[in-house]
Chains A and B, each alone.
Chain A
Amino acid sequence: MNRILIVALAGGCAMVLAGCGEQPTVTVYKQGQYQGKPDTQPWNNAQFKNDRASWENKIKARTESQNEYARASN
């Protein structure tokens, strides 16, 4: 009976003391890994509706429009 009481008291004390433990309040940085918020893909929005091909086509057309040699020949 005494042993059960001692074990119960020890367990209770451990739990009470654990409550006093201070949690770290600063970010733990992992070397070489991005630590910030996750980002979304540029085609993952209302305009492109998660259609990567459509976004890539639009960007490609814009990029090619920088070539005035091609624009002059059209």
Chain B
Amino acid sequence: MARMKFLCDAERCIECNGCVTACKQEHEVPWGVNRRRVVTLNDGLPGEKSISVACMHCSDAPCMAVCPVDCFYKTSEGVVLHDKDLCIGCGYCFYACPFGAPQFPQDGAFGLRGKMDKCTFCAGGPEADNSAAEFKKYGRNRLAEGKLPACAEMCSTKALLGGDSDVIADIYRNRVLKRGKGAEVWGWGTAYGKPEKGAAPPTGAKS
């Protein structure tokens, strides 16, 4: 299997925020944290475009490169995950990420910066699959249930595609050929333009 990727079709996204809601609901994401957001360019003007943005699970992920405690790892399916027990909440990954994916819960009166939280491609984390600890820290592990991310599966217009990159690229190619426009895939050059690179896989692990 090739690596897992997200693809957002700006021609189809209707800014319904269904993906955002699905993600919040699926993982019981706390207030102030949005693992997925819908960004609208040229809002209100003719030809405005909306794009659903979250962690793109980059080939050469900048968050992995800058993390001072090396809490990131990449699974064999190309999903970038992190260990919250190691995260010190420094925020370097937030500044490094071109998509603004890493989120920090702002608990308390003084806006304390907690452990980083981000999209997991619905693949949980290093805790035991579908355990209570995994759900509490990372949300539901749909991948271990043989399902795709909730945001992509819930998308009503199928603007947001998620899954095996070969398959979703084929779906998109077919779509562009049928409609004859909108071949630009937002964010793919930034996320997947560089060769695959990642931290050494954890032993006996996903990666």
Contacts and interface: CB of A to CB of B under 8 A. Distances in A.
B144 interface: yes
Interface stretch (B16-24, B41-49, B104-112, B120-128): B120-128
Contacts of B152: 66
A21 interface: no
Interface string B160-192: 011110011011001100100000000000000
A66 B72 CA distance: 29
Contacts of B178: 69
B82 A36 contact: yes
Interface string B46-80: 00000000000000000000001111110111000
B206 interface: yes
A9 to B, nearest CB: 45
A68 to B, nearest CB: 6
B93 interface: no
Contact of A39 (B73, B146, B163, B174): B73
Contacts, number: 124
B171 to A, nearest CB: 4
B34 interface: no
B135 to A, nearest CB: 14
Contacts of A38: 126, 202-205
Interface in A17-46: 27, 29-45
Contact of A45 (B68, B126, B130): B130
Most central of B81, B129, B161, B174 by chain A CB within 10 Å: B129
Contacts of B130: 45
A40 B128 contact: yes
Q: In the complex, which range does the number of interface residues on chain A fall in?
A: 20 to 34
Contacts of B199: 32-34
Contacts of A33: 70, 199-200
B207 A66 contact: no
B127 A37 contact: yes
Interface in A34-61: 34-45, 47-48, 55-56, 58-60
A74 interface: no
A59 B205 contact: no
B103 interface: no
A28 to B, nearest CB: 11
